[in-house]
Amino acid sequence: MEHLQGALRNYPWGSHTLLAQLRGTQVPSEAPEAELWFGAHSAAPSQVAGRGLDAVIAADPEGTLGKRVADRYGSHLPFLLKLLAADEPLSIQAHPSRSQAKAGFAREEEEGIRLDDPTRNYKDPNPKPELIVALTPFEALAGFRPLAQTREFFAALNCEELDHYASLLDATSEEAGLRAVFTTFISLPEDVRKALIDAIVPAAERVADDAGAGTAGSLAAMFLRVHDKYPNDVGVLAALLLNYVQMRPGEALFLQAGQLHAYLSGLGVEIMANSDNVLRGGLTSKHVDVPELVKVLDFSTLEDPFANTTERDNEVSFHLPVDDFIMSAHRIDAEHPLLVDTDGPAIVLCTEGTVRAGDFALKPGQAAWISASDPAVTFEVAEGTSAQCFYARV
């Protein structure tokens, strides 16, 4: 077991305070701190005793990953753990399935597109299902809203210019209706898109100011906030179709391949398959490839984006339909230590308090790398204290 030094990623949408406060560093930070990566992704591998975790694993795949994991994934750690801090909306995006990622990566390799080319869509051949657990109040757009709810929202807006597009929603086929509206929105000429958004804004202001508008009022206020950050962006129209989720600390969202989403604000722990493949649809200055995004999108609606969980003995388990990772959250106190005993690799991330295993200690924002060759380890806390840790493995 060794300390795992995370790789800090500075993106414009990041926070000057959230990660800094968690880690006890300078507040506000000089640059916006968006993500802290704990893993072996080649774009930003974490460090173990001054070496990249990807190099450590490549030097001894079976010793670090264990035979079970190495036989399936070769010399690659199959998951990536992150701390994510958003002060502004991330791009509206979706991620490819395994088959789509393999095909897209191979195609762009054959075309000779450099990995650092801003127009490159596929940085690796891996899918990217992801789970995010809120550490603070957290807002997100997550999956297409059920059609009936979207029709109710559009009716509340009562915007004549929007009615034409609302008519494309076919109540007998949710997927066909959503595909028609979304592909129309994302393909509008800039002047037509601007005129449509200009018409929706006053309608949204009216609904947001109506104390009795309920859900429609919350959706309208969200629309206005997104528009304020990215005025007249195509992603503003996409936001009209997505579930708006306000999470309390401890709640979690799970997003499969193809589900359109955007995180809006807050601090959370995120785990995903070891991938950096992102197909963007707006709220960004980065490359947007409309045909490729539409190709990977799942146009079915997502009635409940929250992850399925169970809680027992200070442990929250997240039940996910993926093979690339397992994660659980632990409230560690004198009666509930955390035992790490697995035949594969593991990362333990501390988000609150201080935990110890003998002379080894973790504070908030720090993580431990535990290879398959390491003996079982127990994390404990001092008498009268408690801590929170996330335990990621495969």
Give the residue numbers of the binding site for Zn(2+).
93, 95, 130, 261
Of 282, 324, 287, 258, which is closest to residue 126 (Cα–Cα)? 324
Concatenating the DSSP letter of every residue in 335-380 gives TB-EEE--SS-EEEEEEES-EEETTEEE-TT-EEEE-TTSPPEEEB
Which residue is listed with tokens 């202001």? Answer: 205
Active-site residue set = 280
CA distance 194 to 250: 38
Cα 4 to the center of its chain, rounded Å: 21
Residue type, 23: R
Which residue is listed with tokens 């210019």? Answer: 161
DSSP assignment, residue 167? T
CA distance 135 to 129: 20
Q: Which residues are annotated as a binding site?
A: 93, 95, 130, 261
Which residue is listed with tokens 């990536």? Answer: 80
CA distance 199 to 164: 13
CA distance 350 to 380: 12
Of 232, 109, 219, 62, which is closest to residue 155 (Cα–Cα)? 219
